[in-house]
């Protein structure tokens, strides 16, 4: 159940979006009736909306200016993005473009909106998943912690081999644990399920333990703890990594959008409407 | 491998005396002062002898004309006895802030200032323009006996328009700050070469404890100088006449509970929980007086099954026991006399005033109309345990009740983008003033950011008055007068003050001209007091995950917890 303030905010924003869409349709119809070019009007509405989308990035950088809360700007950004999608389809007449330039422009806009929606979904779901993990870890420190775990694991295994002369633990380490501990691992499946490779490793360690001496088994228990810690770090690495890096994909689609839109306007006025 | 105990000597209270050394004959001269001469040394226990207290908890300080002894609003931790010369007390409105070494309270910068800041930002961290230009102070800074002091030039000219009171040899000053660790009520300067005996609060409290004459004298001074005005400023007593207030003040007791050094215990990893806290009053006991929390913090505790449950928290200026007194006065209780509904315990340390119940009944309740009584019953009612009990205990355990503007992050909303950190850095010399890290309860994280405490222990002992509290409660550091002594950073029980090395705008590190050591400054969150929009961190959060809240505000907490629980 959503908090009443959130519900109220979403309802108001949705109504404003609906109103804006109706207003856009009405204006375009009026343009049609008055024998003006409706595509020209929808194009300029779309350009204005795309420009409004840019304000969010500008606001984030101008933190010294009293420009209100970024959270409010984000709401404007999200709903304007959805408005853009609606106006875009009206502008194109709900048809897929046929020229390379127009396809590029469309991919850029649709890609921006899709990555934006994915980012929005992740920003609403992944923080809760991160909180459920328990301990907070700063993303930048994950690599350092992983290196610490790997070094300790190697020391444990080497010490066990020296002490017992047996290779049961070292075999398990080189075949399974080394890969898991060598670096932070990004698992896509963690983003949409409770996936964890830990159970698989633990099952294999359990099987390997049957072949170990008591000294090796003690070392294996510590190795298991290290694998559990590494699994937690991997979960942070995946979830925080997704939250941090989706923005780069979003930017990869949105950055070409402005020059493409400007070029589109120039081309249209030079060869189309002129 | 076997382990063996390493025997070391346990640290003792007087391992580090207040005075670095005593010149020959100086200690004897001090002990000959009338104030100590009149004390009965026999009444002091052998481990806390009078001579020991004077030797270890006092020091003789020499002042030159223009030296500031203490500043108005500073949190002092010592009292002074004038040995020779004269101390001038500057009565309100007092001296201007910049003359005392503080930053001038300015209005937040406007649009133009904010735009200029964007373009003037240095590429380097913690740059200062005065690193090469020297001090931009109206007064000078000088060191004497290892103590840094702001010195006022042209003192006579500066004092010309002020109201003054002169105190000569034998007079006791600054006793309230030493007793209650409250802000100094007036600034004190020296107009002629003077010698003062400074007594740190530990020794001052012991002198008061073991010598009846000294205690009476201190209490009389305190009552005369402070208690009447303090009581008069409280809402319940504001309409009483002066003579009635004086009668109440006369019979009001000042009591201290707990340990002023609670922060040291806390640093060692110990947390504050109900059973370990000293009890001020016990649930079910007769209400012998109305309690007013003067300083520190207290916890309202109720018995629940076999344990104790936190009901709420009391801070400076809060009342306890009024509800029972009023209900009993109205005949609305089971017993004929008022009985405490809950216990009150000291969180770390608490100073309380106890006003006898019969005085409250005769001087206050008898003179109130029935509507006012009903209003009083409503106002004094205890909070219901409406906040998540675990969170309530978490706040109490880590003493976050001290904070007025605590940074809380809802980790189920926070996308770990660090936009809050970046915004803070952009507003503060490219160096954030907080860590996005801290203790966590469920999905609420209390970060390492200055909480702008009700009882800001960081302000105790700042030698230049660089750290001060603004009228709205924000605790700020005047960078220009900060000498980098780390006193505030060491004192902060929450580790929210950081010492940073500074450089000039070209990135050249600033070093001490004499020692060649880096110049360091104390830095902390200032709630972006210079910024018109308020705290940049809070405004920069795209998901409303970060809030600055008073953790004793039940309504706000409930909103936070409910919002967090309902967020997808």
Q: Residues B385-422: pLDDT tens digits? A: 667 788 888 888 888 988 999 999 999 899 999 999 99
Cis peptide before B93 (omega within 30 of 0): yes
DSSP B295-358: EEEEEEEEEETTEEEEEEEE-TT-EESHHHHHHHHTT-SSSSS-B-SSEEEEEEEEEEEEEEHH
Chain A positions in Cβ-Cβ contact with residue B114 (cut-off 8 Å): 64-66
By the 10 Å C-beta count (0-12 exposed, 13-18 middle, 19+ buried), B227 is classed as buried
Chain A positions in Cβ-Cβ contact with residue B419 (cut-off 8 Å): 60, 70
Of A80 and B131, more confident: A80
Residues B236-254 as b/e (b if ≥16 CB within 10 A, e otherwise) read bbeebeeebbbebbeebeb
Say if the Cβ atoms of A138 and B437 lie within 8 Å: yes
Chain B positions in Cβ-Cβ contact with residue A138 (cut-off 8 Å): 436-437
* B436: pLDDT strictly greater than 80: yes
Nearest Cα residue to A131 out of B496, B500, B413 = B413
Say if the Cβ atoms of A70 and B541 lie within 8 Å: yes
Taking only the tens place, the pLDDT of each residue in B493-507 is 899 999 999 888 888
Chain A positions in Cβ-Cβ contact with residue B117 (cut-off 8 Å): 64
Quote the tokens at residue B318. Answer: 């809060």
Say if the Cβ atoms of A63 and B413 lie within 8 Å: no
- SS3 for B2-48 is CCCCCCCCCCCHHHCCCCCCCCCCHHHHHHCCHHHHCCCHHHCCHHH
Nearest Cα residue to B53 out of B180, B204, B181 = B204
Q: What is the mean pLDDT of residues B286-310?
A: 88
Give CA angle at A224 (A223, A229), nearest 5°: 95
Quote the tokens at residue A266. Answer: 């120039």
* B341: pLDDT strictly greater than 70: yes
Say if the Cβ atoms of B567 and A3 lie within 8 Å: yes
- Percent of chain B at pLDDT exceeding 70: 88
What residues of chain B have any CB closer than 8 angstroms to a CB in chain A? 111, 114-115, 117-118, 411-417, 419, 422-423, 426-427, 436-437, 440, 442-443, 445, 531-533, 536, 538-545, 562-563, 566-568
Pick from B411, B415, B547, B566 the residue to mutate for testing the A interface (most A CBs within 10 Å): B415
Q: Which of A3, A63, A128 sits opposite B536 (nearest CB)?
A: A63
* B131: pLDDT strictly greater than 60: no
Binned at pLDDT 50, 70 and 90, residue B138 comes out as very low
Neighbours of A240 (CB within 10 A): 21
- The pLDDT score that the predictor gives to residue B291 is 94
Chain B positions in Cβ-Cβ contact with residue A62 (cut-off 8 Å): 118
* Residue B446, min C-alpha distance to chain A (Å): 12
- The pLDDT score that the predictor gives to residue B503 is 87
What residues of chain A have any CB closer than 8 angstroms to a CB in chain B? 1-3, 5-6, 60, 62-71, 73-74, 122-128, 130-131, 136, 138-139, 240, 243-244
Pick from A2, A5, A6, A66 the residue to mutate for testing the B interface (most B CBs within 10 Å): A66
Q: What is the mean pLDDT of residues B22-41?
A: 88
Nearest Cα residue to A265 out of A48, A2, A11 = A48
Residue carrying structure tokens 């170990």:
A212
Of B135 and B424, more confident: B424
Residues B477-510 as b/e (b if ≥16 CB within 10 A, e otherwise) read bbbbbbbbbebbbebbbbebbbbbebbbeeeeeb
Q: What is the mean pLDDT of residues B78-84?
A: 90
* Residue B539, min C-alpha distance to chain A (Å): 4
- Kindly state the DSSP code that residue B99 receives in the 8-state scheme: G
**Quick one: closest CA in B to A58, which residue?**
B540
Distance of alpha carbon A255 from alpha carbon A197, whole angstroms: 37
Binned at pLDDT 50, 70 and 90, residue B272 comes out as low
- The pLDDT score that the predictor gives to residue B292 is 92
Q: How many CB pairs under 8 A join A and B?
A: 97
Say if the Cβ atoms of B415 and A123 lie within 8 Å: yes
- The pLDDT score that the predictor gives to residue B439 is 92
Query: Residues B550, B556: contact at Cβ < 8 Å?
Result: yes
* Residue B277, min C-alpha distance to chain A (Å): 29
Chain B positions in Cβ-Cβ contact with residue A7 (cut-off 8 Å): none
Binned at pLDDT 50, 70 and 90, residue B146 comes out as low
What is the radius of gyration, based on Cα positions, of chain A? 27
- The pLDDT score that the predictor gives to residue B3 is 65
Paired strand residues for A224: none
- The pLDDT score that the predictor gives to residue B69 is 86
List for chain A the helix, strand, coil content (%; round to 5): 80, 0, 20
Q: Which of B117, B411, B544 sits opposite A130 (nearest CB)?
A: B411
What is the radius of gyration, based on Cα positions, of chain B? 25
pLDDT tens, chain A, 274 aa long: 556 778 889 999 999 999 999 999 999 999 988 888 888 999 999 999 999 999 999 999 888 888 999 999 999 999 999 999 999 999 998 888 888 999 999 999 999 999 999 999 999 999 999 998 988 899 999 999 999 999 999 999 999 888 888 888 888 889 888 888 888 999 888 898 878 888 888 888 888 888 888 888 889 999 999 999 999 999 999 999 999 999 999 999 999 999 999 999 999 998 875 4
Of B222 and A55, more confident: A55
């Amino acid at each position: 159940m959503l908090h009443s303030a959130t519900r109220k905010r979403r309802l108001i924003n949705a109504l404003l979006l609906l109103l804006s869409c109706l207003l856009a349709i009405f204006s375009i119809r009026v343009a049609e009736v008055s024998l003006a070019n409706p595509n020209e009007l929808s194009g300029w509405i779309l350009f204005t909306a795309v420009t409004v989308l840019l304000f969010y990035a500008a606001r984030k950088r101008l933190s010294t200016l009293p420009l209100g809360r970024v959270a409010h700007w984000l709401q404007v950004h999200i709903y304007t993005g959805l408005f853009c999608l609606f106006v875009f389809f009206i502008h194109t007449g709900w048809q897929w473009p046929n020229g390379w330039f127009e396809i590029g422009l469309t991919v850029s806009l649709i890609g921006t909106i899709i990555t934006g929606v994915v980012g929005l979904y992740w920003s609403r779901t992944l923080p809760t998943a991160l909180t459920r993990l328990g301990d907070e870890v700063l993303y930048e420190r994950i690599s350092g912690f992983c290196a610490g775990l790997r070094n300790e694991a190697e020391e444990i295994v080497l010490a066990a081999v020296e002490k017992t002369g047996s290779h049961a633990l070292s075999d398990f380490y080189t075949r399974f644990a080394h890969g898991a501990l060598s670096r932070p691992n990004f698992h896509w499946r963690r983003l949409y399920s409770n996936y964890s490779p830990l159970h698989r490793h633990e099952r294999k360690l359990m099987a390997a333990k049957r072949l170990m001496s008591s000294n090796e088994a003690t070392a294996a228990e510590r190795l298991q703890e290290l694998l559990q810690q590494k699994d937690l770090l991997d979960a942070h690495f995946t979830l925080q990594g997704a939250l941090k890096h989706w923005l780069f994909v979003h930017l990869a689609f949105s950055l070409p959008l402005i020059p493409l839109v400007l070029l589109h306007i120039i081309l249209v006025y030079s060869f189309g409407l002129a | 491998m076997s382990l063996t105990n390493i025997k070391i000597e346990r640290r003792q209270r007087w391992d580090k005396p207040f005075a670095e050394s005593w010149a020959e004959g100086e200690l004897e001269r001090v002990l000959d002062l009338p104030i100590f001469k009149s004390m009965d040394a026999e009444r002091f226990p052998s481990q806390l002898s009078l001579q020991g207290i004077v030797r270890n908890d006092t020091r003789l300080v020499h002042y030159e004309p223009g030296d500031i002894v203490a500043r108005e609003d500073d949190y002092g931790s010592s009292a002074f006895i004038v040995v020779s010369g004269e101390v001038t007390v500057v009565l309100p409105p007092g001296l201007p802030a910049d003359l005392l070494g503080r930053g001038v309270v300015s209005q937040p910068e406007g649009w133009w200032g904010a735009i200029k800041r964007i373009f003037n930002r240095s590429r380097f961290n913690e740059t200062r323009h005065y690193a090469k230009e020297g001090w931009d102070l109206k007064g000078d800074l000088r060191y004497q006996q290892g103590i840094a002091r702001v010195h006022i030039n042209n003192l006579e000219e500066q004092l010309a328009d002020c109201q003054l009171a002169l105190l000569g040899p034998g007079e006791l000053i600054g006793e309230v700050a030493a007793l209650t660790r409250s802000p100094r009520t007036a600034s004190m300067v020296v107009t002629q070469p003077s010698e003062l005996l400074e007594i740190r609060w530990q020794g001052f409290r012991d002198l008061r404890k073991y010598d009846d004459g000294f205690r009476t004298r201190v209490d009389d001074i305190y009552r005369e100088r402070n208690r009447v005005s303090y009581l008069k400023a409280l809402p319940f007593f504001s309409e009483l006449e002066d003579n009635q207030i004086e009668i109440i003040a006369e019979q009001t007791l000042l009591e201290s509970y707990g340990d002023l050094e609670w922060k040291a215990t806390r640093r060692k990893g110990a947390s504050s929980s109900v059973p370990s806290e000293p009890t001020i009053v016990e649930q079910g006991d007769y209400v012998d007086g109305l309690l007013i929390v003067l300083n520190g913090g207290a916890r309202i505790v109720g018995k629940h099954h076999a344990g104790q449950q936190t009901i709420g928290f009391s801070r400076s200026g809060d009342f306890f026991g009024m509800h029972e007194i009023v209900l009993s006065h109205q005949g609305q209780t089971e017993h004929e006399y008022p009985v405490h509904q809950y216990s009150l315990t000291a969180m770390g340390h608490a100073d309380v005033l106890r006003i006898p119940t019969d005085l409250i009944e005769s001087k206050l309740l008898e003179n109130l109309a029935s509507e006012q009584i009903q209003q009083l019953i409503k106002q004094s009612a205890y909070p219901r345990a409406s906040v998540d009990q675990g969170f309530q205990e978490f706040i109490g355990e880590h003493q976050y009740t001290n904070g007025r503007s605590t940074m809380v992050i809802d980790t189920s909303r926070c996308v770990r983008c660090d936009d809050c950190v970046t915004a803070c850095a952009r507003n503060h010399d490219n160096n954030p003033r907080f860590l996005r890290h801290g203790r966590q309860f469920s999905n609420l994280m209390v970060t390492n950011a200055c909480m702008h405490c009700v009882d800001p222990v960081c302000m105790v002992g700042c030698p230049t008055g660089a750290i001060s509290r603004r009228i709205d409660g924000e605790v700020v550091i005047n960078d220009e007068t900060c000498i980098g002594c780390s006193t505030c950073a060491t004192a902060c029980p929450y580790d929210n003050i950081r010492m940073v090395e500074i450089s000039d705008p070209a990135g050249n590190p600033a070093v001490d001209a004499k020692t060649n050591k880096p110049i360091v400054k104390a830095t902390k969150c200032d709630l972006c007091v210079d910024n018109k929009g308020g705290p940049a961190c809070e405004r920069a959060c795209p998901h409303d995950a970060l809030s600055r809240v008073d953790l004793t505000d039940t309504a706000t907490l409930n909103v936070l917890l409910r919002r967090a629980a309902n967020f997808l």
